[in-house]
Structure 1
Amino acid sequence: MENFWTEVLQLAETTTKRVGSQLIADFGKLQATKKEDGSLVTKADRWADEEITQAITATFKDHGVLGEETSHIFPANDWCWIIDPIDGTTNFTRGVPIWGISLGLLYRGTPVFGYVYLPLLNHSYYGYWLENSGLIGPVGAYLNGEPIHTSTDAPSKSHLFNLCARSIDVLKQPFPCKIRMIGVASYNILLVAVGAALGGVEATPKIWDIAAVWVILQAAGGAFIALDKTEIFPLTVGQNYGKNSFPCLVVSREELVPVFKPLVEFLANSN
């Protein structure tokens, strides 16, 4: 199976680099329109989703694909990729250089590999999380090929915690860390994985926002907490995930869950 994991990483790397090059050319130049759920989309999102889907199905003919801009139905395939072609479309259209391409590979409904590429930062994050999958393969989380790990620090006013736009009510109470708002769900969580922040919260992320980073965060030593107390994975075959949100807390280590969870668990009702 070693060759399989090499192919998976090569596909993710070459496809996101190729697609990212075109997206850089479109960066800050396209007008966005609103979808039914209120999120933004551009022709670049749709083009990138199609390009990534075609690359996956050409390489792995027995793999399914669930994409933000295409099908939201989780297929019956043992292996399925979940695609977010541009995570951070608002940043992308407004000329803010923090946005990324996110790919998560699931085995029987649970993510086992995640890859996120931020083209303008030239940062490639990826990781493997094979626990309880029955699979054998690589371990760990990486940034541009170098191992990464979450922070072991204790919270303080010199440490960071990331919010999303829908979680600012957190600030109505005293908070143990400085706050940052990234505007990109995957990067919010990746900053915890790489040790830059101690935690983060997303009030209404979709499955394509979290499939890849769920893997990378845990492979880096962090903890991913579903705030509505419902296990996210494995996904259910045949279910439409287009409207489902998954409020979540991420922290650099399990010991910090009781520190931060009481401050953000009201977001479980954000759906």
Structure 2
Amino acid sequence: MTEWMAIKENIKAWVKEVGKEQLIRIEQPFQMKTKSSDIDLVTEVDEWSEQYLIDQIKSHYPDHAIMSEESGWHEGQAEYEWVIDPIDGTVNFAHGFPLFSISVGVKFRGETVIGVVYVPKLDEMYEAVKGSGATLNGKTISVSGVERLNQAVVCTGFPYDRATDPNNNVDHFNAIITKVGGIRRTGSAAMDLCQVAAGRFDGYWELKLQEWDICAGLLIIKEAKGETLSIKQEKGYQVLVGNPAVFHELKSILTWEG
């Protein structure tokens, strides 16, 4: 546990530095290209941010493995694996919309034990170590107490291939939109997960997420006493989270197994 706490403090310092640079660069011209579709973007700032984090990890923990969104898998010999998303919400960033986050999760023997999500523009640092609770800027957070779905504010998102694959969340959205108090879509899965952990949103679901989107955030929700479900499918994970009451109501509508 002491080692995990020390690793977490390093992560917090590193993502703060990355966040400072991202806030400078969002105001400047930068290069951009597409990946899986015309709306799946990556910028040179994503690549710079990722390289900074990888360099820090390799310098301090040279035997740790790393899985990162842009560069993929980096071999390691230890029982630790880092899962990083240098900018979760790249489309937002590319359009100058300042809601994006940096997500870093650390696994030990296959289980996530550290989660840090930083939202630079809001200067919000969400963090958790397994068994130690979750905090936002040092203050303990927990999921909301809303018990009725028709009073809940929930959040979702849509996959990059929504125009070509009918499994695009539109049917789920239509099934839920009339049953909730409100619905939001921020464009950053890691940030959405943390809003549930902080009690700002009462539930969240999405399809086709990748491990770097959810690794840190799922631990933060668990440590904030929330419910989580993630099911790996061919094109990624389908994820459902929430406070206990809203989670189970949403699950009954989505009819997800797991």
Do these two structures clear the TM 0.5 threshold for a shared fold by scoring above it?
Answer: yes
- Structure 1 contact 155–198 (Cα < 8 Å) conserved: no
Q: What is the aligned partner in structure 2 of residue 17 from structure 1?
A: 16
- Structure 1 contact 31–93 (Cα < 8 Å) conserved: no
Greater Cα offset, 49-58 or 175-184: 175-184
Q: Answer yes or no: is 1:208 the counterpart of 2:212.
A: yes
TM-score (norm: length of structure 1): 0.83
The within-5 A match list for 1:143-154 is: 143-154=136-147
Distance in 2, Cα, partners of 1:224 & 1:32: 34
TM-score (norm: length of structure 2): 0.87
**1:32 counterpart letter in structure 2:** M
SS state at 2:73 partner: coil
The within-5 A match list for 1:1-271 is: 1-2=1-2, 4-27=3-26, 29-36=29-36, 39-72=40-73, 77-130=78-131, 139-166=132-159, 167-173=169-175, 174-227=178-231, 244-253=235-244, 255-265=245-255
Deviations 1:5-58 (A, max 9, x none): 342122111100111111111115434311136621011111111110110111
Number of residue-to-residue matches in the alignment? 244
Query: Which runs of 5 or more structure 1 residues have no equivalent in the other structure?
Result: 131-138, 231-242
Greater Cα offset, 218-227 or 207-216: 218-227
**1:191 counterpart letter in structure 2:** Q
Once the two structures are TM-superposed, the CA of residue 265 in structure 1 deviates from its matched residue by 3.9
Once the two structures are TM-superposed, the CA of residue 64 in structure 1 deviates from its matched residue by 1.3
Distance in 2, Cα, partners of 1:180 & 1:33: 27
Query: Which runs of 5 or more structure 2 residues have no equivalent in the other structure?
Result: 160-168
SS state at 2:55 partner: helix
Change in 2 beyond 3 A, CA 1:75/1:61: closer
Once the two structures are TM-superposed, the CA of residue 157 in structure 1 deviates from its matched residue by 3.9
Distance in 2, Cα, partners of 1:6 & 1:225: 26
**1:46 counterpart letter in structure 2:** E
SS state at 1:183 partner: coil
Deviations 1:152-201 (A, max 9, x none): 22125443000112434324233233111111111111111000111001
- Structure 2 contact 63–76 (Cα < 8 Å) conserved: no
Distance in 2, Cα, partners of 1:93 & 1:221: 34
Q: Please provide the CA RMSD for this pair.
A: 2.1
Percent identity, aligned pairs only, is: 28
SS state at 1:65 partner: strand
